[in-house]
Amino acid sequence: MSLTSFLGNNADVRTRFKQEFHKPIFRVKKELLAPPLTKRYTTVGTAFDYLLRFYVKYLNPNAIDKEYVAESALTQLEYNPSLYATGEKIVSQAKERLAEFLQTGEMTDELIESALSLAYLDPIYRANQGHAYIGTPIDEKDIEDVRKLISIVNPALFKANTLCMLNPTFGIASMLVGGADADIVIDDTIIDIKTSKKLELKLKDFRQVIGYYVLHQIGGLGDLQPKPAIKKVAIYFSRYAHLHTLDLQGIISEDTFPDFMLWFKDRAKQEYGQINRLRRG
């Protein structure tokens, strides 16, 4: 239950997005700077999401953040005291190591290890699966992989002038689609992180970042008032150290977008309304 599922599971939604938003041609050619070292692509990708947000927090001490997704997963482990204790230790240790990093700026193997351990907790919250991997010993190759990814980040890409948000939700609009959170917001840009070995703008990824903009237009960002202006969406291709930015002015039609938003809200309520009513009950 998420924006990803809403887009991925409903052909009519994908068709409506395709009619409303035309994906720009992607002509970027870059060198692969950080080839994957293992086949644990999802875990490494999620770990890098955490580590990049840690780094962005270091670059922007006033960044607005919220609890880790991994921390939210703990409530789903309460039925098993042993798993809960392991998960709680992972989260508390990660917070301690992050606090040290924010003071020193030293990217230790221990902090990277914590990011990988947090990554094993995420699927429990997002998909109620992966319990067997909690506390899995961390492979040195994964630490090496994530370290390479963070080492090639250009800090100038993530230094905010006015606004920095980490893992923000979209107010009431997040619940509209059963849950949604972006990776990073820098000033007027919503950024999604992709740790893929291919440099390509997939249609599903384009729909995803446009979906974030739609949710922002409906519900804003977190609890911020007034609603911050978002003028761009972007994808950071971490294995290429490339931030690909899309100017929304060339994608959003002022003539048709209001009707699209009305349709989107109605369609999401049709899909998730019953679930949300049960949650409120």
Residue-wise pLDDT for 66-81, tens only, equals 878 888 888 888 888 8
pLDDT surpassing 90 at residue 89:
yes
pLDDT grade for 281, boundaries at 50, 70 and 90: very low
Give pTM, 2 decimals: 0.93
Residue 96 and residue 117 in contact, taking contact as beta carbons nearer than 8 Å = no
Domain spans, the chain: 1-30+155-281, 35-153
Q: Exposed (0-12), middle (13-18) or buried (19+): which is 23, by Cβ within 10 Å?
A: middle
Residue-wise pLDDT for 101-124, tens only, equals 999 999 999 999 999 999 998 888
Residue-wise pLDDT for 150-180, tens only, equals 999 999 999 999 999 999 999 889 889 988 8
